Structures are given as structure tokens and as C-alpha cells.
Amino acid sequence: MGVSRYLRIEGGDIDVAVKGTSYRQRHVPKVGSYWFTLAAEPSNAYDANAVAVVARKAVGYLPRDLARVWSPLCRSIGRRRFVVPGEVRLTVDGKARWILLWLPDPSVVASLLK
């Protein structure tokens, strides 16, 4: 049996609002709970530590402060991808969708990879 391409990580203590979803509304899933993939983008023109949040297509990015920590973790597992839980919600005015992820402490993830 082959190695799974995805490393599923149960939710953690860090609530993270995904950045950039307003630019990708057509790719953001309907309101509900989902598993999202994290993918490092070292060739990103704006931030070499960028970490994309993917639901079939990129729907946004981790905030820069978290991306600095998660990017090396994502790169350390090669072609595999972390899969994390999250929820799509409506904005207060009900006109757009946004995504909340539940991430574990990155130091815990790092220790599991050793």
C-alpha cells in the first residue's frame, strides 16, 4: 500500500480567518464544514512563505505571521499536503463567504514529523 498524499490534521486551538477569499468567491464552497488543503507557494511573487488554502482551487492564504511558520512545515513533507478542518461562513451582511480554519499549534505538528 502506498503512502497517502495527504496528512490529515485534526483541528486545534488556533482559529484562523483565511485571507483573500473576497477575491476568490467563485471558488469558495457553499456555507458548511470542509477539509482544506494547505500548499506552500515558495515561488509566490508577493511572499516566498505564502501558504495557499485549497478547496479544489486556491480560495485564499494563511495570514503572513502564520505562513512564516507553516510554510517550512508544508515544504518539509515534500509533495504531500496537510489537510485541515474549517468552515465556510457568511459575512455579517450575508453578501460574501469567508473561511475559518482550525489549526493545531505548529510546534506540535513539527514534533510529530520528527
Each domain of the chain, given as residue ranges in start order, spans: 6-108
Pairwise CA distance, residues 69 & 49, whole Å: 8
Average pLDDT over residues 63-92: 93
Query: Would you place residue 103 in the very low, low, confident or very high pLDDT band (cuts 50, 70, 90)?
Result: very high
Q: Is the pLDDT of residue 50 over 70?
A: yes
Average pLDDT over residues 101-108: 90
Q: Is the pLDDT of residue 68 over 70?
A: yes
Q: Is the pLDDT of residue 81 over 70?
A: yes
Q: How many CA atoms lie within 13 A of 5 on its CB side?
A: 4
Q: pLDDT, tens digit, for every residue of 32-47?
A: 999 999 999 999 999 9
Enter the CATH code of domain 6-108: 3.30.70.2330
Q: Supply the mean pLDDT for the chain.
A: 92
Tell me how many helices (H) and strands (E) the chain has. 2, 7
Is pTM beyond 0.75? Reply is yes
In this structure, how many other beta carbons lie within 10 angstroms of the beta carbon of residue 16? 18
**What pLDDT score was predicted for residue 3?**
52
Residues 6+ apart with CB under 8 A from 87: 32, 33, 34, 99, 100
Pairwise CA distance, residues 42 & 4, whole Å: 23
In this structure, how many other beta carbons lie within 10 angstroms of the beta carbon of residue 74? 24
One-letter amino acid identity for 60? G
Exposed / middle / buried, residue 23 (Cβ in 10 Å: 0-12, 13-18, 19+) = exposed
Q: Is the pLDDT of residue 16 over 80?
A: yes
